[in-house]
Amino acid sequence: MKKFFLLLCFPLFTLSANATHIIGGEMSYVCLGNDSYEITLKLYRDCYNAQAPYDNPAYLTIFNSSGIIVESLSILFPGSDTLSVQTNCAAIVPYVCAEQAIYKDTVTLPPLAGGYTLVYQRCCRSSIIENILDPLNTGMSVMATIPDPSLATCNNSPVFINNPPFAFCIGVPINYDHSAVDPDGDSLVYELCPGVSGATSFDPMPLYPDPPPYADVTYVSPYSGDYPFSTYPALAIDPQTGMLSGTPSTVGIFSLAVCVKEYRNGNLLGTHRRELAQVYTISGGANPTGVNGIVLGDVNIYPNPANESVVIDASNTGTIIEAIKICNTVGQEVKSFIPVAGEKLITADTHDMPAGMYIVQVETQNGTVHQPLMVVR
């Protein structure tokens, strides 16, 4: 198991075991054809302060547009891995550890007027969160939407490219790439958004949650979904690129949510939300979680969708290609290539790759670009 930690200028906190270990989540899906969908639920856990384990199983409920339950999934704990990167933002221990579990299941959902809403709920949040009122009694809803078939059939949701940030440094500009890829080529619009409540301290892991919609969390003034912590300039996300910017000005622990809205032909298909219930702003050093967005020109991938092989054409990047990797949607490397000197047109064999969505990562001496790839069978 790969482990790396964030060194932070905070005293150690002892947290309640009532699910305060879950510090974020997001849900996505891939259409496999024949009305079959692979559902991915990513849950983030405080693996340093937490006292409680991941849910085993995790309960995922599927509602129709009338709020009636049409399917309920019970997904066994798949194991976990740690996230984040070491930072020089602090000179002293203690530190915090962020861990990820990726729950997956496949479900058959025939086209249905109004579509489907997929829901996972967990309560509650940690008492150390400063921008939410009564966090110990505020749960979280992690959701995904399969749209009405009149808008899209066999739709695939967007997927965030990079692991989430869990710490930023005071006085250092944020330059974090919070972009996503969409295998259908749908238009994506990014925004800071409110967290969503769900479940209660009386029923922290509901087997059958109430139907949506769910209330936004209640923020402590002056904070809100689009002003989650103190920054100057203000925290902002570019609606077209997903680049998160701003300069934190106050030490604290806050909740942060980012939404990417998926549009096709001017119609909203759904909103993919990544909610982080515990983000640290800390003093000193350089930005620990910045991922620079670099414009290197076009990387063309064809055919896409691919079957037996795919051509990766990096001839327009204007820089030296050091490596090409194909990863699945949970960041695991599936294939990798080291081009010969000057080579920028590479044919990759995909005949042995399962159908689904992948991310092609082109690494150069100046940075990295990503492109989505769909493999069909």
Tell me the CA distances in angstroms from 312 to 52, 136, 335, one per residue in order: 44, 49, 13
> What is the share, in percent, of the chain residues with pLDDT greater than 90?
50
Mean pLDDT over 122-150 rounds to 93
**pLDDT of 85:** 46
Mean pLDDT over 351-355 rounds to 88
As a whole number of angstroms, the longest Cα–Cα distance in the chain is: 62
Please state, as a whole number, how many other Cβ atoms lie within 10 Å of the Cβ of residue 90: 21
Distance CA 103, CA 42 (A): 6
- What are the beta bridge partners of residue 271? 261
**pLDDT of 84:** 57
DSSP conformation class of 202: S
Phi and psi (nearest 5°) for 173? Answer: -60, 135
Distance CA 148, CA 140 (A): 25
For the chain, the domains span 6-282, 300-375
Least confident among 149-153, 266-270, 334-338: 334-338
* Per-residue pLDDT tens digits for 224-241: 999 999 988 899 999 999
- pLDDT > 80? residue 79: yes
* Rg for the chain, CA atoms, rounded: 21
**pLDDT of 367:** 67
CATH class of 300-375: mainly beta
The vertex-159 CA angle with 360 and 228, nearest 5°, equals: 125
- pLDDT > 80? residue 88: no
Q: Per the structure block, which two tokens stand in for 5?
A: 């930690």
* Per-residue pLDDT tens digits for 358-369: 778 888 776 677
* Banded model confidence at residue 50, pLDDT cuts 50, 70, 90: low
Least confident among 123-132, 211-220, 224-233, 309-318: 309-318
- pLDDT > 80? residue 180: yes
Q: Per the structure block, which two tokens stand in for 349?
A: 């064999």
- pLDDT > 60? residue 7: no
- pLDDT > 50? residue 15: no
- What are the beta bridge partners of residue 321? 364
**pLDDT top residue among 275 and 52:** 275
* Per-residue pLDDT tens digits for 282-340: 655 444 433 333 344 567 788 877 888 888 887 777 777 788 888 875 567 889 888 88
**pLDDT top residue among 286 and 188:** 188
* Banded model confidence at residue 275, pLDDT cuts 50, 70, 90: very high
* Banded model confidence at residue 4, pLDDT cuts 50, 70, 90: very low
Phi-psi region of 351 (alpha: psi -120 to 50; beta: other; left: phi over 0): alpha
**pLDDT of 314:** 79
**pLDDT of 91:** 37
- pLDDT > 90? residue 377: no
- pLDDT > 90? residue 179: yes
Reported pTM: 0.75
Q: Per the structure block, which two tokens stand in for 377?
A: 């069978």
**pLDDT of 134:** 94
* Banded model confidence at residue 20, pLDDT cuts 50, 70, 90: low
**pLDDT of 330:** 56
- Sort strands 267-282 and 167-169 into parallel, antiparallel or unpaired: parallel
